Amino acid sequence: GVNGYTTNLYGEVLNQLVVSSNGLILGDDTAVPNPHGHNQWLPDATAPGFVLAGLWRDVDLTNSGRFHVAIVSGLVQGHDVFYAQWHDAPYASDPDLTARHAIAVLLNGDGSMAKQPLVAHAFFIYDNISDPAQTVAQGYTIGIEDKLGVRGVTYAYAPCCGDPQPPQGYPPAAGTTLHLR
């Protein structure tokens, strides 16, 4: 892991987290370097697996928006936090449709599983989604799934690309924090 950090997701130790511009964090072993922009219902037994989808959508950061990643100390007593933030990240098909959100994952520190192994805690933090109704129209996923795509949850979802799964929920309002595990 990064500087010896690990985290757990559904009973498996993750040594690496891969951040996608498309609003995802993927675990090692099943992570693909360029996850497609086509969001899906979670859990789903198709790739990518080990998904933390803060706001999974097809994003293009070529001309605007950005994302940052850091390990932050002092936010949660006894744990460092892996923190990924997307700032004014635009949809690929509509550069005016942007979002500001973050994913924070508690880390195990030195990777030790001695007395109390950390159960994954992921916090999805929302600052601004410029047009929630248009975000629904374009398609997005907020959720989490395990390595095999068997366990997990979808908090909110709107299909794109002809997916048969009906929509669920709505994009979170600014100031919302979700705790998924």
109-152 pLDDT per residue, tens? 654 444 355 566 899 999 999 999 999 999 999 999 998 889 99
Distance (Å) of CA 49 to CA 34, 66, 69, 134: 13, 24, 21, 27
Question: Is the separation of the CB atoms in 145 and 30 below 8 Å?
Answer: no
Average pLDDT in the chain: 87
pLDDT of 38-48, one tens digit each?
899 999 887 77
| Domain extent for 18 | 2-180
Give the integer Cα–Cα distance in Å for 92 and 98: 10
Question: CA end-to-end span of the chain, whole Å?
Answer: 20
Number of domain units in the chain: 1
